[in-house]
Structure 1
């Protein structure tokens, strides 16, 4: 069975299937990549809770940066957020994001 949570015309914020939660891409507010990453991860926390999951159950993270020059600053926030011993499989790349003010977008898949 597929469960969709907070579904709109274009997308669902969470799709659950087979004990796995797929979160839609999250972005955050802030002037720099560190602030946007902190806000983005706060949104991820809220969605994980709605999905019945947590940071410890993240299977995969896909991170898009608008500029790879921000890699170290984003990683500083990320490393402090990920529970020790629970680092997920992860990829990070550079991409043009949906709005010019966005610096980071994170897509999470987690076990429920």
Structure 2
């Protein structure tokens, strides 16, 4: 039976799960909720970079991305940060929708899947 590797586990989730060289990240949010959409997106992307690195991969290996915005009108500002981060790396299949957040100060949450 193949091993499932979990990191950052608590009572309800793991920050990442690796199985058969696929890396699934939990939805990640910013820590500094006083920041605007640009600042929060930058923080989330930094967390994604670190989590992917911790699992032996990086943004060039992204397969999918799910993005939740508190206000869909923030999509253009979030996309500016997203596109600058991706650069010429492969583009993942992606969804971006407006959603109510668990904490109303969260402006963006991003969840990605990558391979190693």
- Calculate the TM-score normalised by the size of structure 2: 0.93
Total equivalences in the alignment? 112
Distance 1:50 1:91 in 2: 24
CA shift, 1:74, in A, is: 0.2
TM alignment of 1:65-104, pairs within 5 A: 65-104=69-108
Distance 1:16 1:85 in 2: 21
Question: 2:16 corresponds to which residue?
Answer: 14
Distance 2:115 2:8 in 1: 19
Q: Secondary structure at the match of 1:86?
A: coil
Write out per-residue CA displacement over residues 53-101 of structure 1, whole angstroms, 9 at most, x where no aligned residue: 1010010000000000100000000000013141111100000011010
Task: Give the gaps of 5 or more residues in structure 1.
Answer: none
> How large is the Cα RMSD of the aligned pairs?
0.9
After TM superposition, the runs of 4+ consecutive aligned structure 1 residues lying more than 2 A away are none
- Calculate the TM-score normalised by the size of structure 1: 0.96
